[in-house]
Structure 1
């Protein structure tokens, strides 16, 4: 069996949001999922596996304050804020594909989505191209299964001269041998995070997150620590480009669970990542699956800074102009002892 074939056996995807339905390490699916595509349409689904856009994370006041010399109102679907592209962001849309292609000398699975001008309040028609690269590599005698995600977005319409883009994957990972994250050993590449206000919007301060050291192991308990914050790898925002694909691939987080003996890591070219330990998960028993509750999975969302569009010193990292490309690359990699 070829390594490419073996790698593809570890993954399943669905057209809705080109979402990740299955990421197998041995016989364990380490992403939270539903067996039936129909269940992903449930309002109780907290973005399982979805690719998020047009603009991931929160936009303050559900409003883009200054773009094309005007303001744009977005759907408020997270208190006063707009979250993950609005009420029906890209994760809720059926993508075109998949198509097997060669890219950079490697086999990839290509998905596309055309987002029309005005969709969820966002200006300009843009096309998203998403490539999945599935791999199995042997390293020191250990077989590691990986999924690389490459995003590329272009403003293809002539309606406006600029728009905003920020794309990420919203898979929930659980590498434990139980229903929650408890006992998972975490090692963060950074503990610097965007401090947020009562509405989860960054205040502008960047500080170490309490109780979670950088580059040291700590263990998730039943309820603590409980982050849902954006952690900063590149603390010089002026250097962040709209296309980060040529930046070095940096480790964001490493995980291990002594019960399952599973290791997992995320690497990316992106300057930041939202780390969420799933305290708000509330999925009832459905589709033959047991209920999924608080801390049944964690998200590691490689991204730009939160609410960058409304901050003058940050907006360049999400404002996409005609003729430019938004781009990023992220790798999820797992293996067992």
Structure 2
């Protein structure tokens, strides 16, 4: 695609809502297409070295695709709380909060009508910046408090950044996250088996087949989850280990070293020379190797298992029930913020 920026029509949802795409970027750098549906990254084009571009983000070709395959979460900002909450319930200040369930009695990525299905309001749009806002009413999917969430995308040089900011009028739990899938060989080009991944984490969270934590954090040493040095994704996904067998690959939360904005992961595709460093200020990184992918992609090709990897900066799963992992509570007068940067080389 070219680098012409601005809004463009992206189709109509079955309920009649029009979806608009906003294109950000400049010649010679990343070109990002973001939808007002779900604050979704629909495509992310990088220069390919021969005068063209390659799309390295998985997406659907039109609005109908996002409606039909909403639970693939391709590129969306998911919430109110990313990942899983066991039993679709938790206690907040001693009171039981019941949520809408959407995965085997649990709540995944905010519930059946999560933020990825919503139309966000555009507050500001320019050639290299887009700010969207979603207001989630009190009781939305069972979550207490009226929550205002802003998502600000920016493209600068070789970097794409996403800033999230949330405020509430009553105590609630908050933990939205970006669910961008990457394939540095190009979306629709096949699996990411030959990509190499490093994660800045010495501990990870073992889970059951339902993706919920089994207990506390465990050392990555001696497991397929030791990504402290770059490793071929295909080798780790197919390792004979109870945890990879349980979820059909990697779908685990890694406890990142340090605090503040720091490098969380590096993904590289040796055949093309393309790589990306993911920087975040969040405590954890969910690594998901696309174990259940089965949907039509923006190129018209079918995405299958392992055709992309999602690197999701967030809080640990089920933290509303496991505050010892990460504290998810937001109270009136407080502001929850997160920053994610994708620093590309090509």
If the length of structure 1 is used for normalisation, what is the TM-score?
Answer: 0.84
Q: Which residue of 2 aligns with 1:333?
A: 343
5+ residue gaps in structure 1?
Answer: 137-144, 236-246
Once residues 256 and 306 of structure 1 are traced to their aligned partners in structure 2, the CA distance between those partners, rounded to angstroms, is 26
2:87 to 39, 61, 64: 61
- What is the Cα-based RMSD across aligned positions, in Å? 2.5
- Once the two structures are superposed, residues 288-327 of structure 1 have per-residue CA deviations (whole angstroms, 9 ceiling, x without a partner) of 6111100010111000121111124346x21111111111
Once residues 310 and 206 of structure 1 are traced to their aligned partners in structure 2, the CA distance between those partners, rounded to angstroms, is 15
How many matched pairs?
306
5 Å matches for 1:69-84?
69-84=94-109
Once residues 275 and 79 of structure 1 are traced to their aligned partners in structure 2, the CA distance between those partners, rounded to angstroms, is 21
Q: Which residue of 2 aligns with 1:13?
A: 34
- Once the two structures are superposed, residues 84-109 of structure 1 have per-residue CA deviations (whole angstroms, 9 ceiling, x without a partner) of 0000100110100151379xxxx732
Once residues 320 and 176 of structure 1 are traced to their aligned partners in structure 2, the CA distance between those partners, rounded to angstroms, is 39
Q: Which residue of 2 aligns with 1:25?
A: 46
Q: Which residue of 1 aligns with 2:155?
A: 134
Indicate conservation of the 8 Å contact 1:14/1:37, yes or no.
no
Indicate conservation of the 8 Å contact 1:25/1:335, yes or no.
no
Displacement after TM superposition at 1:286 (Å):
6.9
The 3 A distance-change label for structure 1 pair 8 and 42 is farther
Once residues 275 and 30 of structure 2 are traced to their aligned partners in structure 1, the CA distance between those partners, rounded to angstroms, is 19
Residues 1:229 and 2:241 are matched in the alignment = no
1:260 to 272, 286, 291: 272
* Helix, strand or coil at the partner of 2:152: strand
Displacement after TM superposition at 1:211 (Å):
2.1
Residues 1:313 and 2:324 are matched in the alignment = yes
5+ residue gaps in structure 2?
Answer: 4-23, 48-52, 240-248
Indicate conservation of the 8 Å contact 1:274/1:300, yes or no.
yes
If the length of structure 2 is used for normalisation, what is the TM-score?
Answer: 0.82
Once residues 71 and 114 of structure 2 are traced to their aligned partners in structure 1, the CA distance between those partners, rounded to angstroms, is 13
Displacement after TM superposition at 1:80 (Å):
2.5
